[in-house]
């Protein structure tokens, strides 16, 4: 499975395009199947319908856990680094991880949960979250992890959309010096979620929480005495493994669905090759399991490959800005994978906090989630990587399940700001708005893929038509990412950013419509429009233009976003304005708002065709006053 040279990559790539089925069948045979597949891939991008290894029977957790027990039962699977470095560290061998997962799985079964049930996990980054993820998969339940920074309202939406029967949570979460309650958020959400029968509560903060009789169970009561192996439920390769909600340009977040077989094959393959992971290495992905990166490159990919990894509960700046580097040195981390936002936030503190620690074990650095600017790339390379570690800039999405475009650590050439080349099996094309293909270097187009790969999303939960419309209708016969990209003369891809109404804040995706909808709930707000603007640390910031009344309307708008979505989506700037620029047909001219938010009001061009051109100068003035 592991490509050892650039030449091997080129050969694998060629083969994967000439004979995708032969290529992926060979990779997939390297896993343990309860019943081997005979069908490899059937697909059409019109339906869409994509099936991989469809007649195979497999449970991903057998490949995450059981398959390793013969050779690496005593090897550390997870080093858990707590939020507070003074708290006890915990670590788990593959045997221990197996046993813990079985305990949770048996606990879930004892309460009558099983195959096909949707279970929502709303938890901090503690080992029990990982156990719970794998335990759901073990019994054939479908997990849906909701990042613990989302509000009660957002949590309830996701629970209801998935029709979840159980919620696994904690009393609260410690993030840096702050303690944030979680159980009260769940209680509030569940007021409107009739499908939920059980709530498990793990003690993280020790704060007292209310427990509803008959519904709420202490974690220990649910799992204690549930020892013994829980056999892995035989799953069809195409049975859903999880739902993960992500924002798009319209409507509420969509539940992206991934399956046991294809997701397993692709996350393992991409992990080993992009990072060039070898036996004995220590991998650390800093992402929260609440996002896709934490699913694919913490919970699944590395464990499928039998890796040893670090799981971190805290934040990069607590108790000090050297936290990442201290932990890298402590565990001898060889592979470090984080978001450009984190790099930019730490770069501000200079080289000294990095230099305090021995990072000589590092071999490969990775970035994910948003474009990386040159300055951050060079700092990461020069200071963290001591000029000797390759950087893999990995482009992918919740919907793609795994890394699509990236260098292979140390094997392929790299260029700041460029994700680079497609992985084997990935066939990118750049299309113009009219659907014609861009062959030449330098021209920006819509980044699409023309052939399925094993971990492409199968549907959006409960609404297949939405999946078709969102990803497969803009360019018929192609999967459309929603991103604009360019290819340079060397064939390397550079991601420009979203071409739709999605903004990427610190590597987190939000739809502008979703934020506007939340703002519009505020009492004094008449209407609003949200745009992204370049932000030094976060990549993009959220700028809200709000029309409303009352002296507190800006604050109300922010509160309303925190309530409707969560603190992760709080606007960075709120401009209270007398009106929004509109076309004669009543459409908001976002182009103008974007320019104003970017501080480029001198480039507005002709605004005389607007319905209300007079509003523009008022917007410019407010923007200058609040800059
Ligand atoms: C963006 C995160 C530039 C892109 C794994 C994509 C990137 C969205 C990169 C998906 C990268 C992700 N360079 N932009 N290396 N990686 N993106 O679903 O706009 O949270 O569409 O998945 O992040 O975000 P998501």
**Where along the chain do its domains lie?**
1-59+246-500, 94-117+125-233, 511-626
Ligand 1 atom closest to the Cα of residue 293 is: 5
Q: What pLDDT does residue 81 have? A: 98
CATH number at 511-626: 3.30.300.30
Structure tokens at 329: 């040195």
Q: What pLDDT, in 10s, does the model give residues 387-446?
A: 999 999 999 999 999 999 999 999 999 999 999 999 999 999 999 999 999 999 999 999
Ligand 1 atom 8 nearest Cα: 397
Contact by Cβ (8 Å): 595, 604: yes
CATH architecture of the domain 1-59+246-500 equals 3-Layer(aba) Sandwich (3.40)
Contact by Cβ (8 Å): 418, 445: no
Instruction: Report the topology of domain 94-117+125-233.
Output: Rossmann fold (3.40.50)
Contact by Cβ (8 Å): 200, 19: no
The one-character DSSP state at 85 is T
Cα 295 to the center of its chain, rounded Å = 8
> What is the 89 CA–ligand 1 centroid distance (Å)?
32
**Mean pLDDT confidence for 250-270:** 96
The whole-chain average pLDDT of the chain stands at: 97
Q: What pLDDT does residue 413 have? A: 94
Q: What pLDDT, in 10s, does the model give residues 22-46?
A: 999 999 999 999 999 999 999 999 9
**Mean pLDDT confidence for 321-344:** 98
User: In a 3-state reduction of DSSP, which class is residue 626?
Assistant: coil
The answer to whether 1-59+246-500 and 94-117+125-233 have equal CATH topology is yes
Contact by Cβ (8 Å): 516, 528: yes
The pTM assigned to this predicted structure is: 0.97
**Mean pLDDT confidence for 581-600:** 93
Is the per-residue pLDDT at 379 higher than 90?
yes
As a whole number of angstroms, the distance between CA 128 and CA 232 comes to 19
Q: Quick count: other Cβ atoms within 10 Å of Cβ 532?
A: 24
Strands of 369-492, DSSP E: 391-394, 428-431, 445-449, 459-460, 479-487
Is residue 396 lining ligand 1, measured as CB closer than 6 Å? yes
Cα 499 to the center of its chain, rounded Å = 19
Is residue 236 lining ligand 1, measured as CB closer than 6 Å? no
Q: What pLDDT does residue 575 have? A: 95
Contact by Cβ (8 Å): 185, 155: yes
Cis peptide before 319 (omega within 30 of 0): yes
Sheet of strand 282-285: strand arrangement: 90-93, 76-81, 308-312, 282-285, 335-338, 364-368, 391-394
> What is the 177 CA–ligand 1 centroid distance (Å)?
29
Cα four-point dihedral sign 7, 450, 302, 392: positive
Contact by Cβ (8 Å): 81, 91: no
Pocket test of ligand 1: the residue of 504, 508, 532, 538 to mutate, having most ligand atoms within 8 Å of its CB, is 504
Contact by Cβ (8 Å): 543, 533: yes
């Amino acid at each position: 499975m592991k490509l050892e040279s650039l030449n091997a990559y080129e050969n694998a790539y060629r083969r994967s395009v000439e004979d995708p089925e032969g290529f992926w069948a060979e990779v997939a045979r390297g896993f343990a199947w309860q019943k081997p597949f005979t069908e490899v891939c059937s697909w059409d991008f019109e339906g869409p319908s994509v099936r991989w290894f469809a007649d195979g029977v497999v449970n991903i957790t057998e490949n995450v856990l059981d398959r390793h027990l013969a050779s690496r039962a005593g090897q550390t699977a997870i080093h858990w680094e707590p939020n507070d470095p003074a708290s006890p560290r915990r670590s788990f061998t593959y045997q221990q991880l197996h046993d813990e997962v079985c305990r949770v799985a048996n606990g879930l079964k004892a309460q009558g949960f099983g195959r096909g049930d949707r279970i929502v996990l709303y938890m901090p980054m503690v080992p029990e979250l990982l156990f719970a993820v794998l335990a759901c998969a073990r019994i054939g339940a479908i997990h849906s992890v909701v990042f613990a920074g989302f509000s009660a309202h957002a949590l309830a939406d996701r629970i209801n959309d998935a029709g979840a029967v159980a919620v696994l949570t904690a009393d609260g979460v410690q993030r840096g010096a702050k303690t944030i309650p979680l159980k009260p958020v769940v209680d509030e959400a569940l007021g409107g979620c009739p499908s939920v029968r059980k709530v498990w509560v793990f003690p993280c903060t020790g704060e007292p929480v209310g427990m509803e009789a008959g519904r709420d169970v202490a974690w220990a009561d649910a799992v204690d005495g549930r020892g013994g192996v829980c056999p892995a439920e035989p799953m069809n390769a195409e049975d859903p493994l999880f739902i993960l909600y992500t924002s798009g340009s319209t409507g509420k977040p969509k539940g992206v669905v991934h399956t046991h077989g294809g997701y397993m094959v692709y996350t393992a393959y991409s992990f080993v090759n992009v990072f060039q992971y070898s036996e004995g290495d220590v991998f650390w992905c800093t992402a929260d399991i609440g996002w896709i990166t934490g699913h694919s490159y913490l919970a699944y990919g590395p464990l499928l490959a039998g890796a040893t990894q670090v799981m971190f509960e805290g934040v990069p700046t607590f108790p000090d800005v050297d936290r990442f580097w201290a932990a890298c040195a402590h565990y001898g981390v060889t592979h470090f994978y984080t978001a450009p936002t984190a790099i930019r936030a730490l770069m501000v503190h200079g080289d000294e906090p990095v230099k305090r620690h021995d990072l000589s074990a590092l071999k490969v650095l990775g970035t994910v989630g948003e474009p990386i600017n040159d300055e951050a790339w060079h700092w990461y390379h020069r200071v963290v990587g001591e000029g000797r570690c390759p950087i893999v800039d990995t482009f992918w999405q919740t919907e793609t399940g795994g890394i699509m475009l990236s260098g292979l650590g140390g094997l392929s050439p790299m260029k700041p700001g460029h994700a680079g080349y497609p992985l084997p099996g990935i066939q990118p094309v750049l299309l113009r708005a009219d659907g014609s293909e861009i062959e030449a270097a330098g021209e920006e187009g819509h980044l699409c893929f023309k052939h399925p790969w094993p971990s492409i999303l199968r549907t959006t939960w409960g609404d297949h038509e939405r999946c078709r419309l969102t990803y497969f209708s803009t360019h018929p016969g192609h999967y459309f990412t929603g991103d604009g990209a360019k290819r340079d003369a060397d064939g390397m891809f550079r991601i420009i950013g979203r071409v739709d109404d999605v903004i990427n804040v610190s590597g987190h995706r939000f739809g502008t419509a979703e934020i506007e909808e939340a703002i519009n709930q505020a009492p004094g707000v008449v209407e609003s429009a949200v745009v992204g603007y370049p932000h030094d640390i976060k990549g993009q910031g959220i700028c809200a233009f709000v029309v409303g009344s009352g002296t507190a309307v800006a604050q109300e708008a922010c509160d309303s976003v925190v309530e409707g979505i969560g603190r992760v989506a709080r606007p960075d700037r709120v401009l209270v304005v007398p009106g929004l620029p509109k076309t004669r047909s009543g459409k908001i001219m976002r182009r103008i708002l974007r320019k104003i938010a970017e501080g480029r009001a001198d480039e507005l061009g002709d605004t005389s065709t607007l319905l209300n051109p007079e509003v523009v100068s008022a917007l410019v003035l407010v923007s200058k006053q609040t800059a």
